[in-house]
């Protein structure tokens, strides 16, 4: 790989999320990956502090925003893609299989008129699709398992692997959400780890394992050697058994029912009702998992 983008991570502590600005400084261009829209589930308040922090950074650098990219419909935070699109005019993108997520969840929310065709985004990426950030080539890997629609963006020597791999001391993503599959997750991870050993791996979350400061960058070589799941469970069967056993002990993310109705709509909040207020819809007794 001959292209090395400048990668700046922005850690969002409420949900342990990492947002990225991926730039070609020579071309003055960047992509924004997985931006977070602030949401307080206790008060229902929505804010744009995280997204505006990214936009301020981009403005300071003088970068043009070429793309606003989500790796998948997130289950633990709202996407700020629509806010950034309205501020910059840049196109939005996500994996083409998001339509499968939309079809599944429109039923859960009882939204028969919701357009489950991916038209909410400017580009739906298929496996192998290519694009560019400035002059840096980029391609898409379909990486299902954590969700039906998860994709990895490989931009120059950097791979943005969303929630498929965490830092080596934290292992791998859960695969028990609706549409998730631990076997698919294993195969997606193997495809990512087939990239060159010096490929930089950027993960979508970090929870400060053991109380350490948040981290989000590793390499393929480090993941293969030290990831606590991949280095231990060497076959698909062993990994699937361990992953499924672990997932059975995990409560659902606090915001999964809140966030999917926003994120399968490209970060757009629900339309205001006749009183001028927006409302979220929460289906009761839909998901089964241990209580916190």
Query: CATH code for 6-253?
Result: 3.60.15.10
What is the per-residue pLDDT for 158? 98
DSSP code string of 176-212 = -STT--HHHHHHHHHHHTTS-TT-EEE-SB---GGGP
Q: Residue 28 corresponds to which tokens in the numbers above?
A: 């003055």
What is the per-residue pLDDT for 2? 53
- How many Å apart are CA 129 and CA 136, to the nearest integer? 14
**How is the chain split into domains, by residue range?**
6-253
What is the per-residue pLDDT for 292? 83
Q: What is the pLDDT along the chain (292 residues), one digit of tens a residue?
A: 458 999 999 999 999 999 999 999 999 999 999 999 999 999 999 999 999 999 999 999 999 999 999 999 999 999 999 999 999 999 999 999 999 999 999 999 999 999 999 999 999 999 999 999 999 999 999 999 999 999 999 999 999 999 999 999 999 999 999 999 999 999 999 999 999 999 999 999 999 999 999 999 999 999 999 999 999 999 999 999 999 999 999 999 999 999 999 999 999 999 999 999 999 999 999 999 999 8
Q: How far is CA 257 from the centre of its chain?
A: 16
Query: CB of 162 within 8 A of CB of 179?
Result: no
- How many Å apart are CA 87 and CA 202, to the nearest integer? 26
What is the per-residue pLDDT for 1? 44
């Amino acid at each position: 790989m001959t292209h090395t983008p400048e990668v700046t991570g922005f850690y969002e502590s409420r949900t342990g999320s990492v947002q990225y600005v991926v730039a070609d400084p020579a071309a003055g261009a960047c992509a924004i990956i997985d931006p977070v829209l602030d949401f307080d589930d206790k008060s229902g308040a929505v804010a744009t502090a995280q997204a505006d922090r990214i936009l301020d950074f981009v403005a300071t650098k003088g970068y043009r925003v070429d793309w606003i990219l989500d790796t998948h419909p997130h289950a633990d935070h709202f996407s700020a893609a629509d806010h950034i699109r309205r501020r910059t005019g840049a196109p939005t993108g996500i994996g083409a299989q998001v339509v499968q997520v939309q079809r599944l969840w429109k039923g859960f929310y009882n939204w028969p008129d919701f357009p489950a065709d991916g038209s909410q985004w400017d580009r739906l990426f298929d496996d192998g699709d290519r694009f560019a950030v400035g002059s840096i080539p980029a391609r898409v890997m379909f990486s299902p398992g954590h969700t039906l629609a998860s994709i990895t963006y490989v931009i120059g020597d950097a791979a943005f692997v969303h929630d498929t791999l965490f830092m080596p001391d934290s292992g791998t993503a859960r695969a028990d959400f609706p549409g998730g599959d631990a076997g698919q997750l294993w195969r997606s991870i193997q495809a990512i780890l087939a990239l060159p050993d010096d490929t930089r791996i950027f993960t979508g979350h970090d929870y400060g394992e053991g109380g350490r400061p948040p981290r989000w960058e590793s390499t393929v070589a480090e993941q293969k050697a030290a990831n606590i799941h991949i280095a231990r469970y060497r076959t698909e069967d062993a990994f699937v058994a361990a992953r499924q056993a672990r997932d059975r002990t995990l409560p659902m993310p606090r915001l999964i029912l809140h966030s999917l109705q926003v994120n399968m709509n490209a970060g757009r909040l629900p339309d205001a009702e006749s009183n001028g207020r927006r409302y979220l819809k929460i289906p009761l007794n839909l998901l089964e998992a241990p209580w916190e």
